[in-house]
Structure formats: structure tokens, C-alpha cells
Amino acid sequence: MNDSQYVRQQRRTRSARTRPQPPYVPVSRPGGPHELGQNWLADHRFPAEMAEILRHAPPQEVLELGAGNGAITRALVAAGFRVTALEIDPRCAARLRRTFAGQAAIVEADVPRPSVDGGILLVRRRAVPLVRASERRSYQDLVRVAFTGSGRGLPGILHGHLPQRAIRDWMAAAAIGPRALPRDVPARQWASLHESLRESLPDRRRRPAGRSPTEG
């Protein structure tokens, strides 16, 4: 490189540095960053399985929410469905229009926001279960009765299902107030009630139809 070529290169470099840069617009690529909350399919068998399930439904249009890279769209179109696909990412939407031109309607839009709050539930399995596997059915019956019964407070909800004296003793020992609801009781305390009342718990396998577990 001679002196004149070096000077020209330096001028081009300085010009590029001072030239106004366009604002940064995040774009999504399959397998890349998830700026807009994308979750790309990892199991490639899923689109075909979904199309097979819908094949038995009455013929009608299919609305796909969040088409992404078009994996499910492709399977639906191949199965003969009339597809309208919504996609918020403008780059993905443009790619979908090119791929499915004349085959599917691609709409660049976000889906309607839900009117309720969302959240993430993280479940960790206990190393030692609170209830033995052989007693799981009776424990589930107890919890089902508590959470589906009617009444004011636990004594009222459990009335007619379990001995009232035992319920009062359990609540006193666990420091549970008379107005407490089932949602206020942690799993460990439900397990302690189950342990102390195993013989009195409702068991649909043994109880005659129409009889209360406290009868007889």
C-alpha cells in the first residue's frame, strides 16, 4: 500500500465513524436471542402431531398465535387448513409472507393482552414425601374435601366430613385460627391432619354411596 492509498483508506474510516448510524432495532432469528419472548420449537415432531390432531376437527380456519419461524404454519398449510398466522416480530413476519405467499394470511400484530396477571410456578420435588405412596389416595380425598367444600372457615368446611373434636385439636396444635381457609394451611399441616385422622378420612373405595364417613 503506497502513501496515497493509505490516506484514502484513513479518510474512508473517519467518514464511516462520523456518519449517523440508524437506531438499533432488535430482531429475532430462529435459535437466537428472545427479545420478544419467543420460544422456538425444539421437538420437530410436534407440528406434524398438531396437524394430525386438527385433521379430525370440523373444517374451518385456523388462527395461529405467534407463528415465529413457521414450523407449525408449514404443517398446517400442508394439511390443507386455511391459516391466519399472527407474528409480532417484523422480520419473522416478512419471512413468513415470502414463504407462504398465497398459502396463508400473515398478520404482523401482537395477540390481545390477558386481563389477569401471569406468573411462573416453580415446583421442586421433596426428597422425602410428606405422605406415603400407599396413602396418597386418602390424602388426596382429604385435600379435595377441604378445597371444594362450602362453609365459613375450616371447621365449617370440614363439618360432616371429619370428627369436629379432632379438627379443633389439630387447629389448636397447629395454631390455625377459626377463620382460616384451606389456602392458608401449608402442605405439612395437611399431612399432619391426615396422619392423625387416617381412619376417619373419606375413602370412596370403601364408603357406601350416600353415607357420611362419620356415620355408623
Q: What is the pLDDT of residues 84-124, one digit of tens each?
A: 999 999 999 999 999 999 999 999 988 777 677 777 677 78
- Do 46-108 and 133-200 fold alike per CATH? no
Query: Taking residues 176-188, what's their average pLDDT?
Result: 89
> Alpha-carbon distance 85 to 157, whole Å?
48
Per the listing, cell 484513513 goes with 10
Q: What is the pLDDT of residues 67-93, one digit of tens each?
A: 988 988 998 888 888 999 999 999 999
Q: Which is it for strands 104-108 and 83-87: parallel, antiparallel or unpaired?
A: parallel
Displacement of CA 203 from its chain's centroid (Å): 32
> Alpha-carbon distance 9 to 4, whole Å?
9
Helices 187-196, 136-148: axis angle to 10 degrees equals: 110
User: What pLDDT sits at residue 100?
Assistant: 95
> Alpha-carbon distance 121 to 56, whole Å?
33
User: What pLDDT sits at residue 105?
Assistant: 96
User: What pLDDT sits at residue 31?
Assistant: 43
Q: What three-state secondary structure class fits 117?
A: coil
Q: Domain segments of the chain: what residues?
A: 46-108, 133-200
User: Which has more confidence, 89 or 41?
Assistant: 89
The CATH number of domain 133-200, selected from 3.90.79.10, 3.40.50.970, 1.10.8.100, 3.40.50.620: 1.10.8.100
**For 19, left (φ over 0), alpha (ψ -120 to 50), or beta?**
beta
Q: Which fold has domain 46-108?
A: Rossmann fold (3.40.50)
User: What pLDDT sits at residue 40?
Assistant: 67
| pTM, 2 dp | 0.40
User: What pLDDT sits at residue 214?
Assistant: 40
User: Given a cut of 80, is residue 130 above it in pLDDT?
Assistant: yes
Average pLDDT, the chain: 76
Full strand arrangement of the beta sheet holding 62-65:
62-65, 83-87, 104-108
Least Cα distance to 182 among 165, 162, 198 occurs for 162
